[in-house]
């Protein structure tokens, strides 16, 4: 599985504006709902917020991987967002979160869902790569960085 099978250039949001967890999740969910008619904004927002209530998806090092399953979705879809200043996302390390990768999976896709989470997590582990994502000029550069890094694995 490649990240570029999940993430399209249109789903890269280089300048998230929200300053709270619900605001950021709302921005990312709105982008996905606008791009994919099978996604209802209210349903996706509710699923992402419910997942966060179970425990933060911010894994540290400025990364969060919000995720959930939705009826009507036929393949795993993703959105990437960057918040230059960072947001309190209740990260495991207590630091602000700047890089967000949302994954939306079909209801019956347990193994693919887990593979996608592992792939994104592995991709974002590299400090230098994260630094490049944070300093990238815009969406096109971010997508190219992701595509190039993904090709290494």
CATH number, domain with residue 77: 3.40.930.10
The total number of residues written for the chain in this structure: 153
- How confident is the model over 102-145, as pLDDT tens digits? 999 999 887 888 899 999 999 999 999 999 999 999 999 999 99
The rounded Cα 26 to chain-centroid distance in angstroms is: 12
Residue 6: closest CA among 109, 83, 137, 90? 109
Read off the tokens for 142: 């971010």
Backbone angles phi, psi at 121, to 5 degrees: -60, -45
Terminal C-alpha separation, the chain: 10
Query: Could you identify the residue written with the tokens 């795993």?
Result: 76
pTM score of the predicted model: 0.95
- How confident is the model over 5-53, as pLDDT tens digits? 999 999 999 999 999 999 999 999 999 999 999 999 999 999 999 999 9
As annotated, the active-site residues are 67
DSSP structural state of residue 15: -
Task: Give residues with Cβ within 8 angstroms of 44, minimum separation 6.
Answer: 29, 32, 33, 68, 70, 104
Number of domains in the chain: 1
- How confident is the model over 78-112, as pLDDT tens digits? 999 999 999 999 998 999 999 999 999 999 887 88
Residue 103: closest CA among 88, 83, 121, 86? 121
Strand locations in 1-106 (E): 12-13, 58-60, 63-64, 67-70, 77-87, 97-106
Q: Which range of residues forms the domain containing residue 90? A: 3-151
Backbone angles phi, psi at 113, to 5 degrees: -60, -45
Query: Quick check: 13 and 82 in contact, CB under 8 A?
Result: yes
């Amino acid at each position: 599985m490649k990240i570029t099978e999940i993430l399209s250039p249109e789903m890269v949001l280089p300048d998230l504006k929200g300053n709270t967890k619900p605001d950021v999740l709302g921005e990312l969910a709105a982008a996905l709902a606008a791009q994919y008619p099978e996604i209802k904004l209210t349903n996706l927002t509710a699923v992402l917020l419910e997942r966060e209530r179970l425990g933060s998806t911010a894994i540290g090092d400025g990364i969060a991987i919000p995720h959930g399953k939705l009826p009507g979705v036929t393949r795993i879809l993703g959105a990437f967002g960057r918040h230059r200043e960072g947001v309190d996302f209740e990260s495991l390390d207590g630091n602000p979160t700047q890089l967000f990768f949302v994954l939306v999976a079909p209801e019956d896709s347990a193994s693919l869902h887990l593979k996608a989470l592992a792939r994104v997590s592995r991709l974002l582990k590299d400090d230098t790569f994260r630094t490049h994502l944070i300093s990238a000029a815009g969406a096109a550069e971010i997508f190219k960085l992701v595509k190039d890094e993904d090709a290494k694995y």
